Amino acid sequence: MTVAREYWAEKLGTGSVQNVTVKGTFVKGAIGCARKAVRGMASGLTALGLVFILMLGGCHTKAGDPTERVADDPSATVLPGDASAAPLTSSRSAADEPSKAPRGASTETDCPGNMVLVEGAYCPIVEQRCKAHTEEFEREERRRQSLKLRGETLTQSHVSERCIRYESPSICLSKSRQNLRFCIDRYEWPNEAKKLPEFAVTWTRAQEQCAAVEKRLCGIEEFNFACEGEAMLPYAYGFERDAKRCNIDKPYVVPLGTSTPYEACMQLPYCKASLEKLDQRVPAGSMPECVSPFGVMDMNGNVNEWVERAGQSAPWRSGLKGGWWGPSRSRCRPTVTAHNELYAGYEVGFRCCKDAAFGRPEAPQAGPH
């Protein structure tokens, strides 16, 4: 059994995201993927006995997998230095079924129709311990470790890092939580039950479509919280990966050609045939157990979802979250930042957010929640 710890940290207001996985004597930084190095280690890690750091051996990706390439962000640190604060833990157990919104359903006075009110205390910095990965990933790790010990060159891996089971509960490492209150589409765009979500759409086009209905793209923190809830669940439905709950882990199909926006692709017979071969979407809401603690559907898998990275400049305001139908991470916290605003991958869709009515959240909460 492999035990790995993951530290997810958003720099609120900047959109920077950092993941560090500690596994045995191995440290992996998701943002550092592009440059093969972890940039630094915060002092808070020493309190956990994690006093080492080493260069990355490569990113774990499926060949041609558009969701697992994570760009380097020079503004991000491995972990903000507040990990020494008393951990805030969730009281939710792995057996709990997070299928109902803890705050109750939204009304028209809170959010427009077919949107969900998300309200509560969000933890910016979370520790999530992976207790077991897929056998495919473990085998690849052993192979790469063997190559490294022999002094051979490590090339980019073709295997995605997928965790089968996380330790419960997740731990909040932040000194305080941030109160959030906003509305989010219940389903992926066009936000209609039993309808296939749109895909092969650029970030720019997604932003325009949200604006046309007086909404906006969600932020990273908003997506995280709507997906994981106050329990900081790794998956929207709990601590164990389950391909029967969400549209994930479908067989990987190698894409042919470059990404083309849907409308243009439909005008090209070769592109249309290729897209139809790749398509493994399911209708929105057709997997009723793929639901977050707030009642938001399909936040893991089906289509990757565009979000806006606050503090970034065009054309890099774009981020992808939630995963898609293929064998990728498909969790709540990871954010892919490698694709710019004109990227129209075959697996890419979106949903919209909107400020909730009646004011902003109260001041952040301190202490255990």
Q: Mean pLDDT across the stretch 213-237?
A: 98
HSE (CB half, 13 Å, CA atoms) of 227? 29
Residue 166 and residue 93 in contact, taking contact as beta carbons nearer than 8 Å: no
Task: Please check the confidence at residue 34 and state whether its pLDDT lies above 50.
Answer: no
Which pairing describes strands 365-366 and 176-185: parallel, antiparallel, or unpaired?
antiparallel
Task: Please check the confidence at residue 33 and state whether its pLDDT lies above 60.
Answer: no
Residue closest to 33 by CA, chosen among 73, 77, 80, 75: 73
The pTM assigned to this predicted structure is 0.74
Task: Please check the confidence at residue 155 and state whether its pLDDT lies above 70.
Answer: yes
Task: Please check the confidence at residue 26 and state whether its pLDDT lies above 90.
Answer: no
Residues 6+ apart with CB under 8 A from 267: none
Helix (H, G, I), strand (E, B) or coil at 110: coil
Q: What is the pLDDT of residues 74-116, one digit of tens each?
A: 222 222 223 223 334 333 333 334 434 344 455 567 999 899 9
Residue 167 and residue 233 in contact, taking contact as beta carbons nearer than 8 Å: no
Q: Say what the pLDDT of residue 134 is.
A: 94
Kindly indicate the confidence band of residue 25, based on its pLDDT and cuts at 50, 70 and 90: very low
What residues does each domain of the chain span?
4-359
Q: Say what the pLDDT of residue 108 is.
A: 61
The whole-chain average pLDDT of the chain stands at 77
Q: Which residue has the higher pLDDT, 211 or 101?
A: 211
Token pair, residue 258, equals 């470059």
Q: What is the pLDDT of residues 293-310, one digit of tens each?
A: 999 999 999 999 999 999
HSE (CB half, 13 Å, CA atoms) of 351? 31
